[in-house]
């Protein structure tokens, strides 16, 4: 799920096409500045046009790029955690948020095959961090590794993070619904079972709660994979191609690692091999994972089409 090592600095993503793009004018509050300049917000919205200056800033401080979309449920789980951890570092990193729907060139440049996807930039070079939502403790550990790697590469600056000028306070975030807040607190504590219970209660109150649906799917996945060993799971699945649970385990690990098509393909292949009276659990798991990725995702559309062809 994470890959943050010196070797990752070499050619992970080709950003050369973005390096020399003209930078569109931005308001002072949105323009990231180097250490010693005016106070800045360390969380900025990056666009296809403005990314050049962010890329250059990565020579001063590590830049964490969060690729997200409004329709992406897991993004709503991960992005607040990343922003919280980034702000706590007090200017030692810049967080650049990229709406992949509005900025297709950046999405293509980062090869964003699935989101949420988080990539760091150190001296203009990309370092993969996460694909898929992860718990806060893991986010903190990877940020710590990022700062160590940045120091090894001479990127040790600090942004001048001042207080907001009077009258320009950031708008207050609306409070989470109580059960969502309960689930979020449980996720931060690593208690996925409690988070599942909270989201299930939220859905019992409002079955159309899309955030709760997405959150429940994500936390169920985290709960399932937290004690799995990838090598052991793959060996078990290879030894028993029709063992439903063994195939479920590898599909979960693939999805958690960002290999969405591999996960869907494995379960669809299993569905095709099983007799009709044994297929229901596989169909239900596929539908759950479709909801986790999002109905508009082209990989979900393709997998749904194949599932329909296998059903009829």
pLDDT tens-digit series, residues 106-139: 888 887 777 888 999 998 888 888 877 778 888 8
CA distance 47 to 185: 32
Question: Across residues 42-70, what is the average pLDDT?
Answer: 88
* Under 8 Å between Cβ of 233 and 240: no
Distance CA 121, CA 150 (A): 9
pLDDT band at residue 188 using 50, 70 and 90 as cut-offs: confident
Domain covering 6-152 assigned CATH 3.40.30.10 in the classification = yes
Q: Assess whether pLDDT exceeds 80 at residue 300.
A: yes
What is the H or E stretch that residue 123 is in?
none
pLDDT at residue 274 tops 80 = yes
pLDDT over 60 (residue 27): no
Phi (first) and psi of residue 95, to 5 degrees:
-105, 120
User: Same CATH fold, 178-311 and 6-152?
Assistant: no
**Domain boundaries, given as residue ranges, for the chain:** 6-152, 178-311
The residues annotated with a catalytic role in the active site are 72, 75
Whether 172 has a pLDDT exceeding 70, the answer reads no
- Would you say domain 178-311 falls under CATH 1.25.40? yes
d(CA 48, CA 26): 13
């Amino acid at each position: 799920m994470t890959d943050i090592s010196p070797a990752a600095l070499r050619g992970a993503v080709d950003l050369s096409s973005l390096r020399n793009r003209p930078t569109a004018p931005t308001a002072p509050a949105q323009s990231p500045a180097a250490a010693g300049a005016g106070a800045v917000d360390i969380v900025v919205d990056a666009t296809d046009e403005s990314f050049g200056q962010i890329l250059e800033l990565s020579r001063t401080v590590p830049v964490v790029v969060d690729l997200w979309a409004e329709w992406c449920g897991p993004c709503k789980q991960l992005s607040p955690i990343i922003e919280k951890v980034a702000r706590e570092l007090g200017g030692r990193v810049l967080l650049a948020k990229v709406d992949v729907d509005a900025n297709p060139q950046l999405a293509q440049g980062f090869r964003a095959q699935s989101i949420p996807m988080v990539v760091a930039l150190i001296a203009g070079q990309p370092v993969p961090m996460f694909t898929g939502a992860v718990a806060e403790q893991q986010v903190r550990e990877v940020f710590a590794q990022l700062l160590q790697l940045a120091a090894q590469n001479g990127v040790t600056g600090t942004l001048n993070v001042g207080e907001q000028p009077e009258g320009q306070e950031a708008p207050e975030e609306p409070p989470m619904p109580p059960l969502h807040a309960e689930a979020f607190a449980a996720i931060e504590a690593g208690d996925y079972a409690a988070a599942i219970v909270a989201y299930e209660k939220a859905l019992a109150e409002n079955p159309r709660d899309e955030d709760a649906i997405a959150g429940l799917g994500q936390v169920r996945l985290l709960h399932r994979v937290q004690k799995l060993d990838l090598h052991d799971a793959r060996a078990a699945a290879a030894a028993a191609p029709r063992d439903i649970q063994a195939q479920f385990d590898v599909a979960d690990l693939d999805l958690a690692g960002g290999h969405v098509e591999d996960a869907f393909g494995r379960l669809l292949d299993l569905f095709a091999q099983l007799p009709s009276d044994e297929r229901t659990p596989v169909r239900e798991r596929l539908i759950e994972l479709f909801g986790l990725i999002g109905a508009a995702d082209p990989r979900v559309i393709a997998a749904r089409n194949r599932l329909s062809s296998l059903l009829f």
